[in-house]
Amino acid sequence: MPQLIGVKSLSQTCLDFVINNMAVLCEKPTSNIPTTISNQSNHSPFHQLPSKFFEEIISALQTKRCLTQFLGLLVAPQLETLDLRYLSEEDNCIYFKNGRGIPQCRWSSLSNDFLNSVIPMFVKLQVLNISYSAAGDSSLEVIGTYCTDLRELEVIYCKNITDIGVKGLCVSSTTHNLGREGNKLGLHKSLLKLVSYGTEITNAGIQLGLETFRSLKVWDMATVQILAEIHKEDFLNRPSEIPKYSLMNLKIASLRTFEDVVYIPKSFGLVLSLCPFVIDVEINIVPINITDSDFLSLLSLEKLRKLKLVGDYENSSVTFHGGVTPILKAFGNSSLKALSLSYLPDVNIQVIAQLCPNLHSLDLFDNLSYSNKKLNEEWFKIEPQVLKQLEKLNLASDEEPRRSITIPRNHFILLLSGPSLVEIYIASFCSLNDGVLQEVVRVQNFDRLESLEVKRCHNVTEKGIDIFMNAQNPLKKIVLHWCHKLTKKNFEHWEKQAKMNNWQILIDFESDDDEEDYYEDYY
């Protein structure tokens, strides 16, 4: 059932007291609370708290918009996550001095010179995010010199970063090598993830990075198109000498993502041969025209954990039957855990359920049509296979009324019958109705469901939502937006019911009138 509002635990009570009385605790100096920021880092009484408490205090103070004045007492070496995006640069000058040794930091709107002056303090950083800042090549050189344990780096839309910065990450110059000549500098062994979309890094910089960061698992700029372009001559002349990469994620990017990339026909399989450890694949067909034959190159992989396929709104060249189904047959019963399909015709949900019994996450967005075609008896059992491990289900259809797409009733029931569902999101499907929900509740009680979102589903009424308002599920959140047959009166009834039963649940309701007001204000 929705969690009851009960007596707070002692730890939560203490945490709330600290958060609500920070001004008092820090106002009067004592022998335990330092009076100057310079020695707060070493003597703050808050540093005796576990990291989890630190993070909760900081998050609460951020919500209350008063983190800046107390952060000097809260920045501590044991923190694993620290988000300072909303602090002014002047405040950062003070508080970063107390953050030495923090494993994760995030900065934005900071100058390159400022970053160069503070980064050397963080020699133990493992995760660093300086996206949308003025960081330049010299910042990456400093990072490569001092943050030699760095595992993840994000520099999204840092327009001043070029190939020179990548070189600085690889092997930093002796300019910053302050008496450390004996140490190996650069991140050639430690770096596992690099996110650099929106920088000025070219193919040459990407090639240098891939050749240097031999342990790199994820790099958003190392797409199939880029790798094919880098190794175009190698594929023709000496394929046996091409180095293998450790990349685990691989993407065929759309032109909307990287405007200057061009897909070389038949190159997908060649690139996959360079990346034997890939388990996470994203393919954007528009407007590259990948075919079923190209798509089947995925069969060369040993494992496939996550697959995302975005088809063509007008005319998808990858088909569900000829391209997707063989991949699901190869990996669905073993390694595949997450599947996302968009803009494809004739998607057959029963095929997915039968071939991928171990799915934890399923996204079906804006597909062009859904098929109820009878299955190949050689492949499938007679009885539909319920997705017993499915935890996250996201279903959305095109909002255009004249292109109303429906999921067959029996397939809707099949998807919602998964006993492990924790999150459900359904948008713009008129085929979802009270009858479907009543049929589902005959086989399962949603006893793990924590979040339910229903938007623009105009055949769901109060009767359908009442199925979830009971003591048999652990719901924490219900979002009901712009459904014609759900009214404010219904919402008020559910709010009253939750209050009477002492349920700790958030009910977020918006009517059609709210949507119209939103668009009027927006435009």
DSSP, residue by residue, 320-377: IIIIIHHHHHHHTTTT--EEEEES-SSB-HHHHHHH-TT-SEEEEES-S-B--PPP-T
Q: Tell me what pLDDT residue 282 has.
A: 95
* Tokens standing for residue 95: 């508080």
Write the DSSP symbol of residue 30.
-
Q: Tell me what pLDDT residue 127 has.
A: 83
219, 253 Cβ separation under 8 angstroms? no
pLDDT in tens, 15-74: 888 888 887 777 654 433 333 334 444 556 677 777 677 778 877 887 777 776 776 676
| pLDDT grade for 193, boundaries at 50, 70 and 90 | very high
Q: Tell me what pLDDT residue 500 has.
A: 92
| Alpha-carbon gap, residue 168 to 142, rounded angstroms | 8
Q: Tell me what pLDDT residue 283 has.
A: 92
pLDDT in tens, 483-493: 999 999 999 99
Q: Tell me what pLDDT residue 31 has.
A: 38
pLDDT in tens, 313-326: 777 788 999 999 99
| Alpha-carbon gap, residue 390 to 419, rounded angstroms | 8
Question: Which of 235-244, 291-300, 332-341 comes out lowest in average pLDDT?
Answer: 235-244
66, 110 Cβ separation under 8 angstroms? no
Q: Is the pLDDT of residue 519 over 50?
A: no
Question: Which of 351-365, 428-442, 508-522 comes out lowest in average pLDDT?
Answer: 508-522
Q: Tell me what pLDDT residue 37 has.
A: 37
For the entire predicted model, the pTM comes to: 0.85
3-class secondary-structure state, position 463 = helix
Q: Tell me what pLDDT residue 506 has.
A: 95
| Alpha-carbon gap, residue 60 to 161, rounded angstroms | 34
In terms of CATH, what superfamily is 386-523? Ribonuclease Inhibitor (3.80.10.10)
- Mean pLDDT across the stretch 229-257? 82
Q: Tell me what pLDDT residue 129 has.
A: 84
Nearest Cα residue to 307 out of 324, 326, 285, 329:
324
| pLDDT grade for 181, boundaries at 50, 70 and 90 | very low
Q: Tell me what pLDDT residue 118 has.
A: 73
- Average pLDDT of every residue of the chain: 82
- Mean pLDDT across the stretch 67-89? 60
pLDDT in tens, 115-150: 787 778 777 778 888 888 889 999 999 999 988 888
Percent of the chain with pLDDT over 90: 53
Beta bridge partners, 251, equal 282
- For residue 410, give Cα distances in angstroms to 213, 266, 407, 423, 440: 49, 38, 8, 20, 10
| pLDDT grade for 178, boundaries at 50, 70 and 90 | very low
Q: Is the pLDDT of residue 92 over 90?
A: no
Write the DSSP symbol of residue 73.
H
Q: Tell me what pLDDT residue 210 has.
A: 94
Q: Tell me what pLDDT residue 523 has.
A: 39
| pLDDT grade for 291, boundaries at 50, 70 and 90 | confident
| Alpha-carbon gap, residue 445 to 476, rounded angstroms | 15
Question: CA 82 from chain center: how many Å?
Answer: 18
| pLDDT grade for 78, boundaries at 50, 70 and 90 | low
Q: Tell me what pLDDT residue 146 has.
A: 87
- Mean pLDDT across the stretch 86-113? 61
- Mean pLDDT across the stretch 206-210? 95
Q: Is the pLDDT of residue 184 over 70?
A: no
Between residues 82 and 243, the one the model is more confident about: 243
Q: Is the pLDDT of residue 292 over 50?
A: yes
Q: Tell me what pLDDT residue 81 has.
A: 61
* Residue recorded with tokens 């949603």: 446
Q: Is the pLDDT of residue 462 over 50?
A: yes
Widest distance between CA atoms in the chain? 78
DSSP assignment string, 113-163: HHHHHHGGG-TT-SEEE-TTS--BHHHHHHHHHH-TT--EEE-TT-TB--H
| pLDDT grade for 112, boundaries at 50, 70 and 90 | confident
Q: Tell me what pLDDT residue 241 has.
A: 72
- For residue 414, give Cα distances in angstroms to 344, 383, 388, 427, 430: 20, 11, 11, 17, 17
